[in-house]
Amino acid sequence: MSATVPPKGCLTDAQLAELAAAAPGRAPEALARHLTSCDRCQARALFGSERAAGGPRKPIPQPPTLGRALLLAGLLLGAMGAFFWSVLKLAGR
């Protein structure tokens, strides 16, 4: 039971079912040839229907400015200094 592919049309549901039921490497050549060249039919064969187009992508986050990075480094050093000072006071030195 070999189905023919219309030259400009996409595969029907029956043709996709025939491709899915065929053993690997044993699919009808005309159907397999169309499937290799048609993105829409590939999506239908893999996902069952066409994939929805994605929305706009989120922009890549920008690194912090130099001022913010220096402020963060200063706060981190201050917190570390306070920690070690408190450890020394608790140790009795």
Distance in angstroms (rounded) separating the CA atoms of residues 17 and 10: 13
Which of left, alpha, beta for 59 (phi over 0: left; psi -120 to 50: alpha)?
beta
* Structure token digits, residue 67: 């001022």
pLDDT at residue 14, rounded to an integer: 87
Q: Taking the model in full, what pTM does it have?
A: 0.44
pLDDT at residue 7, rounded to an integer: 41
Q: Rounded mean pLDDT of 66-81?
A: 97
